[in-house]
Structure 1
Amino acid sequence: MVDGDTIEIHGKRVRLNGIDAPEYDQQCDDAKHFRYSCGWKAAAALDAFLAKSRPVRCEFVSWDQYGRFVGDCFRADGSNVAAWLVKNGQALDWPKCQTASKTDP
């Protein structure tokens, strides 16, 4: 597990395109002001989702400001990983994190 919006494939980190999720060690407050490990929860949900249909395939979109590969990723069954995270409340749809044009790696 890396965090809720970054996965690792063959030792390479891939930032999921178009979403933002909590960092692995991030804490959040729920509606009742109860503090919980939202970053761990998002990463664990992502890990469980990916484990149900492997391998994961990522299509290159761009490089981010940290030099990470940014990609659109899909499970073996075709499910869009980022869309699932947003739909299930583990990440935010974050157009700022989306790259409109592709750049060769």
Structure 2
Amino acid sequence: MHGLIVVLTMLALCTIVLAGELTGPAKVISTDTLEIHGTRVRLWGIDAPDKTQMCRDINGNLYQCGLRTASNLEGFIEDREVSCLSVLKDECGRTTATCSAHGTDLGEWLVRNGLVLDWTRYSGGRYHAAQREADRAGLGLWAGSFAVPWLYRACVRLGGGPARCSDDVNAHP
């Protein structure tokens, strides 16, 4: 019983809400992580290809989809001030938030352009309609084939190298 109380207490501490807003110039750290005033913030509700992940374009050519996503995000926010609301810690201890630049939700912008996926497990489907539109229009990842990011990471953790785990030509024909 004592062990259960300790576990429940630790879980409760993992979801403590931090200060409500973090605003300022942002640096893109990875495909789904920004840094504002020295604080790293993971964009809430999305799952993005890792920087090492490869995908195939509409012609079947390999490209670095994770690096392309990070580059597109960097280009979009450029010198804009980024505002992150509902800043909280996730179950892994990372700071997560819904962030926007000039009133545009960055998570939704990334999903709508086919650069990342709506992670329904966390977003509750908030970006599902935007993802469906990107898929139908063949934008970004949806133009070719890719391994979903969470399966890519699982494959790498099990000992597969980035080249072997990156692309599944049958994942999204």
By relative contact order (CA 8 Å, sep 6+), the higher-ranking structure is 1
Q: 1 or 2, which has the higher helix percentage?
A: 2
- AA paired with 1:55? E
Moved over 2 A (4+): 29-33
Aligned partner of 2:104 in structure 1 is 79
Unaligned runs of 5+ in 1: 100-105
TM-aligned CA deviation for residue 45 of structure 1: 0.4
Letter in 2 for 1:5: D
Q: Distance between the aligned counterparts of 2:64 and 2:120, measured in 1?
A: 25
Contact preservation (8 Å) 1:63, 1:70: yes
Identity of matched residues, %: 42
| Structure 2 gap segments, 5+ residues each | 1-27, 125-173
Root-mean-square deviation (CA), in Å?
1.7
- 1:17, 1:61 within 8 Å by CA — same for their partners in 2? no
Larger Rg: 2
Q: Distance in 2 between matches of 1:58 and 1:9?
A: 9
Other-structure match for 1:90: 115
Question: Does 2:13 match 1:13?
Answer: no
| DSSP 3-state at the match of 2:34 | strand
TM-score between both structures, scaled by the size of structure 1: 0.81
**Hey, what does 2:69 align to over in structure 1?**
42
Is it true that 1:70 corresponds to 2:96 in the alignment? yes
How far does the alpha carbon of each residue in 1:44-86 deviate from its partner, in whole angstroms, 9 at most, with x for none? 000111115x2101012531233111101011x2111111001
How many corresponding residue pairs? Answer: 97
